[in-house]
Structure 1
Amino acid sequence: MIGEEAGALDATTLVRGVDGCKNGWIAVTVSATGALRPEVAVSPSFAAFTEGPAIIAVDMPIGLPEHAGPGGRGPETLARARLGERQSSVFSVPSRAAVACEDYQEACRIALLTSDPPRKVSKQAFFLFPKIREIDALLRGSPELRSRVFEVHPELAFWRLNAEQPVAVAKKVKSSPHGPGLVVRREILVRHGYPEAFLEHPPRGAGADDLLDAAVNALIARRLLEGQAQPFPDPPGRDAHGLPIAIWA
């Protein structure tokens, strides 16, 4: 469990934001209403974070296309349209067959055959494939989780919480990984109830940006529980296995 205090609460009083990190997954768990009372943990397994909270908002594609169109799935195009200079943070999700590949060259070959216009796989996307496969297998094998686990994107989440304005500065600058982009995002999160000290100390195995992403995802989980979150597209699509295809914010 995330902690003694969180474990003692009823599941309906908790929501959770999850993001990928160096050591697997980082999760920020908050109270669904009132003061956030945030807690953070890192685990090599996403499944470890599915127990307890009413809603889990995770920054990882859910619902994979059999054939990828221009710009990936529909959600990517809709998210990019709202993010201005930050639109490059939304990568195109290739076909399910490409995601299934464990070799990069093979993934590119399959992606070319299953996309229109033909498009290879970026190295950034390929390195996320194991995590995408992990969530995909979990949701396909546990249909009851589909009503609790939702795809989000941190930059779209910050857009939503920043009066629907994209955060102009990138999270990371090569010369200063703890630069102004992180400061601006911390300020947004503090305005929405996070203690500043909580946001300044990522746990071992996760970066400062991972902590902020998980934290903002948790706020979208709150919106989901309250019925205030919007899917892009609206209504969500479905993949061949019935998994929803939408980014929520």
Structure 2
Amino acid sequence: MSEHITTFSKIHFTPTDPVLTDIKIEDIAHALSLLCRANGHFKSFFSVAQHSINCATEAKERGYSKRIQLSCLLHDASEAYISDITRTVKKQLPQYIEFEDRLQKLIWNKYLDQPLSDEETRQVFEIDDAMLYYEFLNFMEEEIFNFTPCLKGVPDFECKAFEDVERQFIILFNRLTGKEKNYISVGIDGCKGGWLVVAISNETFEVGKFKTIEEICIRYQGADSLLIDIPIGLPESKVDVVKRPDNELRTLLSKKASSVFNTPFRQIVYAADEKIAWELNRELDAKQTPISMALCKAIKQVDVFLQNNPQWKNRLLESHPEYCFYLLNGGIPLEDNKRDDYGQEKRIDILKDCFSESQAVIETYKKQNKLRKKIDDVLDALCLAIVGRLGCNDGYRTIPDLPYQDCTGLNMQITVFKRK
């Protein structure tokens, strides 16, 4: 029987005699996102990775340094290689404690510039114990200490897809170690009088309104990702319609299929006036609705820009906010209306998990648009910006997998990030 285990990244790792170079953050994030707290006895799944993220977030709320935040994120990293044992049993296993201590120190030594001081160690494990207390209070309705620990932040105890937690763990690790690339991602959504734009870069952002797509592309010509909620790649016949991603998107969104409108034919988009557009709709049997016809002016603006600026072809890319929210929500469609308070709060919570400044983005939008109470436009634009940023980190995929092109060479696709 071999002395090693095989990790997620296919490394043969010996927990009793660990090698520094064999420790990989990808293995730690993956394993901890699948390892349940409390030996699996909580009423719903809650992973060690989620616990670790909560600890790191609490350290930030307390004003601790990034070094302490990183230490909190990694304080249970040894469990990725030796699993976890309940505290009552662990006390009876001195050799396990020895292995755990050696491995944990090796992990910290790899990712910290110097060993933790006694005070730093106290800070880390004080947060660890506080989180343990509130986890049992939340999941088991049990107070495990005879005192109530103080928390500065609000822990996130939501049950989440392990892939999303794994990604969140890696993103936080990269941010705390300075390895996060400074991608600029832009989300664009149509709004009254033009286009609403949210541009994000690490933890900074911009919110703005533009009259034309050209203005946006000039302003953000150096961006790594530009996703827009408008059809790109127009059909000219019924044969072309089936090449568009619309039908596949409706199937994926199930009960939210109505959020996917029929894409107008190019002939209709370029019609001289609305009357002619409706006549063409009947002649071509294009099955357009008043909603999709109302988009023609915006669709034409984007199409004209792309035809006149070929360097932007297949760089300014179509996406779909409702499908993006579906992905960010672990593959579950958001059935609540995005214009209702509850539906908006649900979307905000999802966005905050992916981008820490999401609430600030929304508040900035509100200040800029004091007369407009609805925030659905900024939620959609922010969602696209976040999805673009995830694509920069994890890579992109399209619907369909192998897109067709329209007669002008524009890909007919929906662009999103790859789910690991």
TM-score range, shorter chain: 0.7 to 0.9
User: Is 1:214 aligned to residue 349 of structure 2?
Assistant: no
Q: In structure 1, what is the equivalent of residue 145 of structure 2?
A: none
Deviation of residue 73 (structure 1)? 5.2
Deviations 1:175-201 (CA, angstroms, capped at 9, x unpaired): xxxx11111111100011142232244
Give the whole-Å Cα distance in 2 for the aligned partners of 1:158 and 1:102. 36
Give the alignment partner of residue 130 of structure 1, picking from 282, 297, 305: 297
- 8 Å Cα contact 1:54/1:148 also seen in 2: no
Amino acid at match of 2:310: P
Q: In structure 2, what is the equivalent of residue 101 of structure 1?
A: 271
SS at match of 2:338: coil
SS at match of 1:78: helix
Q: Bigger shift: 102-111 or 69-78?
A: 69-78
Deviation of residue 171 (structure 1)? 0.8
Counterparts in 2 of 1:151-230, with a 5 A limit?
151-173=318-340, 179-195=341-357, 196-202=359-365, 203-204=368-369, 207-226=374-393, 228-230=395-397
User: Is 1:80 aligned to residue 80 of structure 2?
Assistant: no
TM-score, structure 1 normalization: 0.84
- 8 Å Cα contact 2:338/2:376 also seen in 1: yes
Q: In structure 2, what is the equivalent of residue 17 of structure 1?
A: 187
What RMSD over aligned residues (CA atoms) do the two structures have, in Å?
A: 2.1
Q: In structure 2, what is the equivalent of residue 7 of structure 1?
A: none
SS at match of 1:230: strand
Give the whole-Å Cα distance in 1 for the aligned partners of 2:395 and 2:338. 26
Q: Which runs of 4+ in 1 moved over 4 A?
A: 69-73
Q: In structure 2, what is the equivalent of residue 27 of structure 1?
A: 197
Give the whole-Å Cα distance in 1 for the aligned partners of 2:241 and 2:407. 19
Mark the runs of 5 or more structure 1 residues left unpaired by the alignment.
1-11, 174-178
Amino acid at match of 2:402: P
Q: Bigger shift: 71-80 or 157-166?
A: 71-80
- 8 Å Cα contact 1:84/1:166 also seen in 2: yes
Give the whole-Å Cα distance in 2 for the aligned partners of 1:213 and 1:73. 25
Amino acid at match of 2:413: A
Structure with more of its chain in helix, by fraction: 2
Give the whole-Å Cα distance in 1 for the aligned partners of 2:377 and 2:315. 22
Amino acid at match of 2:360: A
Q: Which structure ranks higher in relative contact order (CA pairs < 8 Å, sequence separation ≥ 6)?
A: 1
Deviations 1:189-225 (CA, angstroms, capped at 9, x unpaired): 0011142232244233874000000000112222333
Give the whole-Å Cα distance in 1 for the aligned partners of 2:215 and 2:184. 15
Give the whole-Å Cα distance in 2 for the aligned partners of 1:148 and 1:70. 21
User: Is 1:62 aligned to residue 229 of structure 2?
Assistant: no
Structure with more of its chain in strand, by fraction: 1
Mark the runs of 5 or more structure 2 residues left unpaired by the alignment.
1-181
- 8 Å Cα contact 2:236/2:267 also seen in 1: yes
Amino acid at match of 1:28: V
Deviations 1:216-244 (CA, angstroms, capped at 9, x unpaired): 01122223334522211111110000011
Amino acid at match of 2:229: D
Q: State the identity %.
A: 30
SS at match of 2:390: helix
Deviations 1:127-173 (CA, angstroms, capped at 9, x unpaired): 21111011101111111112421100100110111111111211124
SS at match of 1:171: coil
Specify the structure having the higher radius of gyration (Cα).
2
TM-score, structure 2 normalization: 0.51
